[in-house]
Amino acid sequence: MKKLLLGAVITGVFLTGILNFTTQGKAEFGTGDFKVAENAFFG
């Protein structure tokens, strides 16, 4: 069970890394949107 969970986590991190690498501009844009939303939420 733990091995399966660990595998899922590693896969998720790996996929996220690939997405960030291939769509770096979009990732930065998404991060900017998140910061704006965070600022709006937390004031």
Residue 10: per-residue pLDDT: 85
Q: Are 27 and 20 in contact (CB under 8 A)?
A: yes
Other CB atoms within 10 A of residue 20 CB: 14
List pLDDT tens digits, range 3-42. 888 888 888 888 777 766 666 555 555 556 666 656 666 6
Residue 31: per-residue pLDDT: 59
User: pLDDT class for 43, splitting at 50, 70, 90?
Assistant: low
pTM > 0.85: no
Tell me the residue type at 28: E
